[in-house]
């Protein structure tokens, strides 16, 4: 196995791994869907437990936007299963997605999940992969800080809008401070097109213009990412 993490825009590497729900092959298992592979430092730890509770709580929201979840750590499958059962029994939350048992660390190393912070634990990595098996977004969090699950959900929806409408998305979309839920246009690449931009769209200059987002898409996004 090649130990080089995939980069944004590259194909997600082919991986076969044991999980709490049996053997899976990535990215083949989720071809045609978006998926989020996220690593956590360890089972039976406080921050990771809160993250898994949050991921499970928002699982149906991920499903609504054609997205699956897969967890991963270097713990054994027995440990994963025991922890999942503990979360269900003590916290009343069922974990509805698989967790990869990477006890040898091969998958973690291949994906660049082992950092200088710890030579044995995975950092909190997030890989967002599209239906064509292309890596679209990578996030890393340190051991001490839990992820914002809503931001992961928002990022996927924003990427889907980029693909569907050939747009670029503003900060904090769909609640941007300048243009609200509207889409930004890609800047023109020649002088002729630059002179036409503000005749077609609202904007602040030829390189920063925007257009209305479709009403249904905007409504759906605001429902997913309520402030």
**Is 135 in the same domain as 176?**
no
Looking at residue 36, what is its pLDDT?
A: 98
* Domain limits for position 22: 15-147
User: Tens of pLDDT along 145-187?
Assistant: 999 999 999 999 999 999 999 999 999 999 999 999 999 999 9
Q: Which of 218, 120, 138 is nearest to 173 (CA)?
A: 218
- Structural tokens at position 181: 């839920």
The domain boundary, picked from 85, 119, 147, lies at 147
Instruction: Give the Cα separation of 71 and 80 in Å (integer).
Output: 10
Q: Is residue 8 part of a domain?
A: no
| C-alpha of 43 from chain center | 21
**Is 172 in the same domain as 97?**
no
**Is 126 in the same domain as 186?**
no
User: Tens of pLDDT along 3-25?
Assistant: 567 899 999 999 999 999 999 99
Q: Is residue 182 part of a domain?
A: yes
**Is 87 in the same domain as 173?**
no
CA distances from 4 to 114, 135, 147, 152 (A): 11, 14, 24, 23
Q: Is residue 21 part of a domain?
A: yes
Q: Is residue 83 part of a domain?
A: yes
**Is 172 in the same domain as 133?**
no
First and final CA of the chain: distance in angstroms? 43
Q: Is residue 32 part of a domain?
A: yes
Looking at residue 107, what is its pLDDT?
A: 83
Looking at residue 148, what is its pLDDT?
A: 95
Instruction: Give the Cα separation of 14 and 127 in Å (integer).
Output: 14
**Is 60 in the same domain as 114?**
yes
How is the chain split among helix, strand and coil, in percent rounded to 5?
35, 25, 45
Give the residue, 221 or 180, on which the prediction is more confident: 180
**Is 80 in the same domain as 130?**
yes
Looking at residue 70, what is its pLDDT?
A: 97
Q: Is residue 193 part of a domain?
A: yes
Q: Is residue 97 part of a domain?
A: yes
Total domains present in the chain: 2
**This prediction's pTM:** 0.92
Looking at residue 113, what is its pLDDT?
A: 78
Give the residue, 215 or 178, on which the prediction is more confident: 178
82 pLDDT above the threshold of 80: yes
User: Which member of 15, 48, 99, 125 is catalytic?
Assistant: 48
Q: State the average pLDDT for the chain.
A: 91
Q: Is residue 159 part of a domain?
A: no
Instruction: Give the Cα separation of 207 and 227 in Å (integer).
Output: 29
**Is 126 in the same domain as 47?**
yes
The domain boundary, picked from 113, 147, 181, lies at 147
CATH code at position 194: 3.30.1020.10
**Is 135 in the same domain as 66?**
yes
CA distances from 87 to 22, 37, 75 (A): 19, 20, 16
2 pLDDT above the threshold of 50: no
**Is 96 in the same domain as 55?**
yes
Instruction: Give the Cα separation of 143 and 42 in Å (integer).
Output: 10
CATH code at position 138: 3.40.30.10
Is 48 labeled as catalytic in the residue annotation?
Answer: yes
* pLDDT tier at 116, thresholds 50, 70, 90: very low
């Amino acid at each position: 196995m090649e130990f080089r993490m995939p980069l944004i825009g590259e194909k997600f590497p082919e991986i076969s791994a044991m999980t709490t729900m049996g053997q899976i092959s990535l990215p083949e298992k989720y071809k045609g869907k978006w998926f989020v592979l996220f690593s956590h430092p360890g089972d039976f730890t406080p921050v990771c437990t809160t993250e898994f509770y949050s991921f499970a709580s928002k699982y149906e929201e991920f499903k609504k936007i054609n997205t699956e979840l897969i967890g991963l750590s270097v713990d054994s499958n027995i440990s994963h299963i025991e922890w999942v059962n503990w979360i269900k029994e003590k916290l009343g939350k069922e974990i509805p997605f698989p967790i990869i048992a990477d006890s040898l660390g091969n998958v973690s190393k291949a994906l660049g999940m082992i950092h200088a912070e710890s030579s044995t634990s995975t950092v909190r990595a997030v890989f967002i992969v599209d239906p064509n098996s292309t890596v679209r977004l990578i996030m890393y969090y340190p051991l001490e800080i839990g992820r914002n699950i809503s931001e992961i959900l928002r990022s996927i929806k924003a990427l889907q809008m980029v693909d569907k409408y050939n747009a670029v998305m503003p900060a904090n979309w769909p609640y941007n401070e300048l243009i609200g839920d509207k889409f930004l246009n890609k800047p023109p690449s020649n002088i002729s097109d630059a002179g036409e931009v503000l005749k077609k769209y609202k904007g602040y200059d030829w390189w920063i213009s925007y257009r209305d987002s479709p009403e249904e898409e905007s409504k759906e996004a605001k429902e997913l990412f309520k402030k």
